[in-house]
Amino acid sequence: MARLPKSAVAPATSGWGALGALVGLGCGWHFQLDAWVSWTLLMGLAAVPMWISEWRARNVSPGNLEVSSRECLKGVAVVTSLFLGSMQLQLICGSEKGGGVSSLVLPALVACLLLGFTALVGPRHLSSSIPACGRFVQAILRGNRPDHQDVVAFMGWVVKAVFLPLMVAWSFTWVAGASEVWHGENWFAIYATGLGLLYAIDTAFATVGYMSTSEKIDGQIRSVDRTWLGWLSALACYPPLSVLVLDTWLVYKTGLDWQSWFSDGSIVAWVWGGAILLLTAIYTWATVVFGPRFSNLTHRGIITSGPYRWGKHPAYLCKNLSWWLIFVPFLGNETTLDAVLHCLALLGVNAIYAIRAWTEERHLRSDPEYRAYAEWIAQNGCLAKARQLLLGRAIAGRGHDGA
């Protein structure tokens, strides 16, 4: 009998974070606060309860970091270069989706200066991954083979440099956008507000995840996917690479979304919009249950709670299904060929996410906990239950025919 492993993040931890996020958003709405204030409340009230919960539950004692200030300063220089280089790439090649990081360049510089100051006066307070980054680059420059842990640390910071600025920019954009429409009274305004708030929570939890790799809450990165296919399939979904892949090659948007085809307040509009919100809610839930451990391309513990009890990739499944309902690529085309091409383009996007799912499984299968989880899902997940139901009906049908 397959065993369901305990989730790396307790449901209570993510629950406290979700409650804090809702309180933060509620305060922003009730007091009509500025978008930056609402975003700060959302982030703080989501992150702090989860950090406290994880710190108390894990009772981790990582010990003091015994390295020199010089080693830490080298690591800080590497981290600073990674973040500034990533943000500059977004500003040059990331189009509108990546351009949102422009307002984060100065805060990023200030954060890196604070890291440098800490490296000078109290290096023991820094994460061990920072001096490890310096050692990695130093080993490469000298033509030596870096230590495995230094490789993991460096690649972990590359992941954070790529995704953290985007998540910060996008979460703020969703909060600001929701605040502009949440006073509307028609169904489309309600729908837009709900969708914006769900995506705001999703990207906020992703932001917290990338910021929460401290050993003190046992959130450190255990391993990073080191395959080209894993990285390319993930990066293809985010700017700047998505500007080429999704906005140039796989264009599935017709310029008209589902709201253009249904009357506001009609039964069809309520059902269609409700289905989109339901799929997006499950997708957001799949991010929330990671608590402070969400991040792409990394292994930071196996999550088995929430929608991950139903299947291994609920977020990808619900996100891709919602895009079919939102952008209706089969409608709004001048010719049948245009409709076919738009549908094929969205199927291409779905295929990229299928590759991401496959590469993530390949990466995580080195952990026996994940193998146990995959075996449990194979026997108890939604697809397994559906197969059992269909098989049972087929057997029952044959029994009636025989009678």
Sign of CA dihedral 390, 5, 7, 218: negative
Structure tokens, 228 = 């080209």
- The string of DSSP codes covering 341-363 is HHHHHHHHHHHHHHHHHHHHHHH
Q: What CA–CA distance (Å, rounded) separates 191 from 333?
A: 25
Q: What CA–CA distance (Å, rounded) separates 312 from 240?
A: 28
Give Cα separations from 17 to 204, 221, 266, 359, 397 (angstroms): 10, 21, 36, 29, 48
Q: What CA–CA distance (Å, rounded) separates 174 from 245?
A: 23
Structure tokens, 54 = 């994880």
Q: Could you tell me if 137 and 278 are in contact, meaning their C-beta atoms sit under 8 angstroms apart?
A: no
Each residue's pLDDT tens digit, 115-124: 999 999 999 8
Sign of CA dihedral 174, 239, 237, 375: negative
Per-residue pLDDT of the chain (403 residues; tens, 9 = 90+): 788 999 999 999 999 999 999 999 999 888 988 989 999 999 999 999 999 999 998 766 655 667 889 999 999 999 999 999 999 999 999 999 999 999 999 999 999 999 999 999 999 889 999 999 999 999 999 999 999 999 999 999 999 999 999 999 999 999 988 766 655 567 788 888 899 999 999 999 999 999 999 988 999 999 999 999 999 999 999 999 999 999 999 999 887 788 888 877 789 989 999 999 999 999 999 999 999 999 999 999 999 999 999 999 999 999 999 999 999 998 877 788 999 999 999 999 999 999 999 999 999 999 999 999 999 999 999 999 998 888 876 676 666 555 5
Give Cα separations from 3 to 9, 12, 129, 380, 388 (angstroms): 17, 21, 34, 10, 19
Q: Could you tell me if 152 and 224 are in contact, meaning their C-beta atoms sit under 8 angstroms apart?
A: yes
Q: What CA–CA distance (Å, rounded) separates 41 from 64?
A: 31
The pTM of the full predicted model, rounded to 2 decimals, is 0.94
Q: Could you tell me if 175 and 42 are in contact, meaning their C-beta atoms sit under 8 angstroms apart?
A: yes
| Side chain identity at residue 169, one-letter code | A
Each residue's pLDDT tens digit, 23-50: 999 998 889 889 899 999 999 999 999 9
Structure tokens, 224 = 């990073």
The single residue listed with the structure tokens 């981790």 is 60
Quick check: helix, strand or coil at residue 291?
Answer: helix
